[in-house]
Amino acid sequence: MKIGNFEINGYAALAPMAGVADRAFRELCIEFDASYVVTEMVSSKGLTMHDRKSGTLMQLGETEKPAAVQIFGCDPQTMAEAAKKAAETGCCAIDINMGCPAPKIAGNGGGSALMKDPDLAARITEAVVKAVDIPVTVKFRSGWDENSINAVEFALLQEKAGASTITVHGRTRKQMYAPPVNLDIIKQVKDAVKIPVIGNGDIVDASSAENMYKTTGCDFVMVGRGALGAPWVFRQINEYFRSGIILPDPPIEERMAVMLRHIEKLCEYKGDYVGMREARKHSGWYIKGIRGAAALRQEIGSLETMEQLRAIAEKVISASVNN
């Protein structure tokens, strides 16, 4: 698939998940063959006010190509100025968040709230497109709620405004992340526009990726929560589409080694204090479903050092061997 003037090889991209898709996780997913990554959402207001945290969120590593920086906000001019700053990172595209369901984002007019005002959303995209010389992409949902499914209308306006590619998460804002994912609305969008469409929602393995492709006819798929504690999902999806082989999940020892490497990266980029506190949620995802995991939840919830995490990894490995 091509986005503007750059090409994406492979079959699956990493979604822009706030609090998760940071540099450490993006780099790890790329190691496991993620074809394209998008940063956590960055506040347009924060960027234009030179907020240091906002700037940090969009820092890209040398291995992160192709990568997009995602920005959010509801004022066209502010979004345009933020896009210029984001483009300075060397990213391949600017992605506009019009799908985040979080109350603190949507409640201030950004994210999925823009689905209630398609004309404003189009003006934002048009302003960003004019501000930068790299492709602009847009991620949005099926609609605000079940009574306002407007993804097709929204997509057509985004295409007219100059978006190079659109990503559709097949849920309404009201659904948040509850089932079901509406694949039919993604298909309707794909049938309506000429620009590439990326399908998003409940892709957790090769089978669900194949179903998204076949059911919707989308040009690419984006994996979000399906990659939590399982960055190897990208390698599994790619291998299946290339050879028809379904790779098993890595053995417990390898899963724990990946977890430790992930958290080491977190600490390298964010410092031990922040890194180890963020390690608590990531570690919980890595051991999910593994024998003996439930008994380790309390230890994980109070993680403070890599030594503690290594000890937990050893316990997980020992429990799997002994059983």
Cβ contact 24:265 at 8 Å = yes
Distance CA 106, CA 125 (A): 17
Maximum C-alpha span of the chain: 61
Distance CA 80, CA 84 (A): 6
Q: Is 100 a catalytic residue?
A: yes
Catalytic residue of the set 74, 91, 92, 100: 100
User: Which is it for strands 165-172 and 67-72: parallel, antiparallel or unpaired?
Assistant: unpaired
Distance CA 319, CA 110 (A): 46
Contacts of 83 (CB under 8 A, 6+ apart): 44, 71, 94, 128, 131, 132, 136
Q: Classify residue 149 by its DSSP letter.
A: B
Q: CA end-to-end span of the chain, whole Å?
A: 45
Catalytic residues, which ones?
100
